[in-house]
Chains A and B, each alone.
Chain A
């Protein structure tokens, strides 16, 4: 199992927790097991073509999966997958 860190904007759609456990042999499988559990997260993470939305960054541990093998990147037991959309809060 991997730990998936859920960004604040997705938490209401993922049981309200900052992180959840999800199984899978690669990043794509882990994220699909998340969207299987919490279907409302599907549209936020993936486009109609099944690819990750460009505005969502996904990291395996501390590395962007775009510089690894993308959704095919192998996930080991105990790895952390971080989902990260941009945030703009600050001044207001």
Chain B
């Protein structure tokens, strides 16, 4: 049959041969794949002519039928068929690159990646980019995102682990504590060898070992009214896993001022709760909890214990919220509070509404002048006094 004969006469060349030829003059390079494949990565100088459009577009991409023309596709099949088609159209010097761009990359030859992702990144994040909700564009958003974790402990550890694995490009960590043996039952980014090390430093070692794409910024200290605006200003999203109410209220007030979304969770025993506060789109932390509880109603994990895996469950839910916010996909927990009770394995969802009288984000909240942006109430006094006169 004619087709068989033509296919047999197609010249096939190896990637390294193609690479040598491409370096010379007068070679036309044609990419015979679909646009989305081309967008992800292509050979430098390759002109896109999808198979279905070859008859219409090849004359523009390769006007000289006597010029040396090299075709490639993903693995070598489509380019062979296209080469046959071009020979029929009168092209005299066509070759198909065997093995396609896959083999080209396997041999370490360079590609152009308009997305800015390296071949290593395309491999590492391939299970993300296969998802229509993420794709290459979404992965690039993750790589460019800056997320601040308040606390590198129970909640911060699993959140950091999954955000780092997901390729969130910059992860800031605020913590003034050192790794203690009693942390290791739940704080999975630290380990036995690093007992005594600053948690931010220990977290950095873990994150950098997991994913070299992530830049870690250590804030080894505590957030207070004097530094919070400067610390959170450069981040896109803040994750609140703070262990005390003064910090939670301070973070809320500062994040509303700077309009930074906050993913907030807390855990105790077998119980956890999580919500996402996006300033002026939904309620803030004060709309949900206008005043902190008295000390006897607000015990800490150190006094009461916490099931280790609870930190993982709630921390990874926080990571999920962060990733959705970065991608702009799905429905984050804005205006919703999710409660999880681990003994019964039950979830309860509650509605949280913006409080029109909220002193921070309500309709009547006073506009804060620039000169007072960094001035906050005394949260320690505010929280210590709570419940005292009730």
Contacts and interface: CB of A to CB of B under 8 A. Distances in A.
A binds B: yes
B385 to A, nearest CB: 12
B188 to A, nearest CB: 14
B218 to A, nearest CB: 15
B352 to A, nearest CB: 7
Given A55-B294, A88-B248, A62 B350 contact: yes
A86 B349 CA distance: 15
Nearest to B153: A91
Interface string A64-83: 10010000000000001010
Q: How large is the interface on A (under 10, 10 to 19, 20 to 34, 35 or more residues)?
A: 20 to 34
B34 interface: no
B150 interface: yes
B178 to A, nearest CB: 12
B243 to A, nearest CB: 4
Contacts of A8: 268-271, 304
Given A18-B343, A57-B288, A84-B350, A90 B297 contact: no
Of residues A7, A55, A82, which shows the largest number of chain B Cβ atoms within 10 Å of its Cβ?
A55
Contacts of A55: 289-294, 297, 386-387, 390
Contacts of A44: 297
A10 B151 CA distance: 26
B1 to A, nearest CB: 69
B189 interface: no
Contacts of B337: 84
Contact of A82 (B153, B241, B348, B387): B348
A84 to B, nearest CB: 7
Of residues A5, A10, A57, A90, which shows the largest number of chain B Cβ atoms within 10 Å of its Cβ?
A90
B154 interface: yes
Nearest to B273: A87
A47 interface: yes
Nearest to A10: B297
B158 to A, nearest CB: 11
B291 A54 contact: yes
Nearest to A80: B348
A86 B293 contact: yes
Given A18-B341, A54-B290, A55-B386, A86 B298 contact: yes
Contact of B242 (A10, A56, A82, A88): A88
Given A9-B297, A64-B353, A86-B245, A92 B154 contact: yes
A47 B245 contact: no
A50 interface: no
B287 to A, nearest CB: 10
A21 interface: no
Given A8-B268, A9-B298, A55-B292, A88 B245 contact: yes
A87 B248 CA distance: 10
A63 interface: yes
B367 to A, nearest CB: 26
Given A63-B351, A80-B348, 4 more contacts: A64-B353, A88-B245, A91-B175, A91-B242
Interface of B: 150-156, 175, 177, 240-245, 248, 265-271, 273, 288-294, 296-302, 304, 306, 337, 339, 341, 343-344, 348-353, 386-387, 390
The 4 A-B pairs of least Cβ separation, nearest first, read: A91-B151, A90-B241, A91-B153, A92-B243
